[in-house]
Structure 1
Amino acid sequence: MKAKFITLDGIDGAGKSTNLNTIRLWFEQHQLPVLFTREPGGTAVGEALRQILLDPHTEVNARTETLLMFAARQQHLDSVIKPALAAGTHVVSDRFTDATFAYQGGGRDIPLSDIAVLENWVQQGLHPDLTLLLDIPLTVAQQRLAQNEHPDRFEQLDNDFFERTRQTYLNRAASAPERYRVIQSDQPLTDVAAQISHSLSQLFGYHS
């Protein structure tokens, strides 16, 4: 079986951290080799850039922010993702390039065509086999984020930013339904988990 590349994405507050556990459990149950990683991050360079990008005191313009995201992604691909896939290990990444299109493209108004140029240069044709997009009403996401005593640089942004970001995610999902599974993450956790498990089973050809 060719190793699969799976990404989990969505706006802040959509419940990615909670639902990563569902994915971990699915792989454990099916006894498949898997590597979990995240963006920005996954490498020493990526984690250092993550600290810069999420620090509320960091001041960078939108183009610099976009370039830093892709710098972290290049190292991530070369050092972690590609080697794991080549070795037959499935990879699950908490965020990937969809997040850049949504946050820097939709949220920051960086032209999507510019991001696509960087995507092609850095990824050289590599794309996820499946993207699980957790979608949630903005009001629910904001309620969840309000419980965070120390919001990061992105979590502090306003509703208009997140509305643009969310809409860009949904636009991308609608444009490539064969890759995306949009899951409403304001449902009961058991329902969300069932849909995630079903999507993974479909990808791998299992009956769920």
Structure 2
Amino acid sequence: MSAAIQPGRFISFEGTEGVGKSTAIDNLCVRLDAEGVAYIKTREPGGSPFAEQLRSLLLDVKTQINDDTELLLMFAARSDHLQQVILPALAAGQWVICDRFVDSSVAYQGYGRGHGDAQMLAKIDSLIDRFVPTLPDLTLWLDLPVQEGMQRAQKRSAADRFEQQQLDFFDRVYQGFQAQQQAHPQRIQRVDAAGDAEQVASRIWALVQELRA
């Protein structure tokens, strides 16, 4: 009888705009390749064909929806992403490296849109309880001053629907990530995102090594 497949590990990356998530994820994947770790790289919103369609709507600057509709679309995308991609990969023993997950919904919809209102946060908690059967084993919060991140983001392609928000919106998003890290310090690890990419990669790898132990 063959040995049972060991479940994979689930790592999410979080942060405000321009903190360097994409570069950090790519650098982690290079190290996982070198270690022979089987993994998939994915993102939210998106990650599955249907969720990618919703991503296009959510990021389109022409999309005009209210906050509740935005929140529900995020979780519709997430539910499909989980069922079609994340859960099968974990069951097959693969690691899942995800650019954003539920903590972004709390930060962007709960704090950015909802100003940390208890009613909005309760809606999000209810959706997580109902539609998210697993949370990441490790969440890496790339922490960088909001203004510095926005300056980096402005050097990229044209701003999407979220990136066009005002600075006070992203200040609230930052507060959302900070509050979650304080509430869940074992799962959510703060990573200093200042410095060059290799320095950040080394900080992340040290945390991932602890997860492998």
TM-score (normalised: structure 2): 0.93
Identity %: 40
Q: 1:191 aligns with which of 176, 190, 199?
A: 199
The answer as to 2:139 corresponding to 1:123 is no
CA distance in 1, matches of 2:100, 2:31: 19
The runs of 4+ residues in structure 1 deviating greater than 3 Å are none
Secondary structure, counterpart of 1:58 in structure 2: coil
Counterpart in the other structure of 2:143: 135
CA distance in 2, matches of 1:183, 1:89: 24
Aligned pairs for 1:57-206 (under 5 A) are: 57-109=62-114, 111-124=120-133, 126-205=134-213
Secondary structure, counterpart of 1:151 in structure 2: coil
TM-score (normalised: structure 1): 0.95
CA distance in 1, matches of 2:146, 2:155: 15
Q: Return 5+ residue gaps in structure 1 as ranges.
A: none
Shift of 1:144: 1.0
Give CA-to-partner distance per residue, 1:120-170, whole Å, 9 cap, x none. 10013x111000111110110121122234110001100100000011101
Secondary structure, counterpart of 1:26 in structure 2: helix
Q: Which amino acid aligns with 1:92?
A: I
CA distance in 1, matches of 2:152, 2:160: 14
Q: Which amino acid aligns with 1:175?
A: A
How many residues end up aligned between the 2 structures? 204
Q: 1:13 aligns with which of 12, 18, 40?
A: 18
- Confirm or deny: 8 A CA contact 1:22 1:196 kept in the other structure: no
Instruction: Give the direction of change, closer, same or farther, for the CA distance of 1:123–1:24 in structure 2 (3 Å limit).
Output: same
Shift of 1:190: 2.0
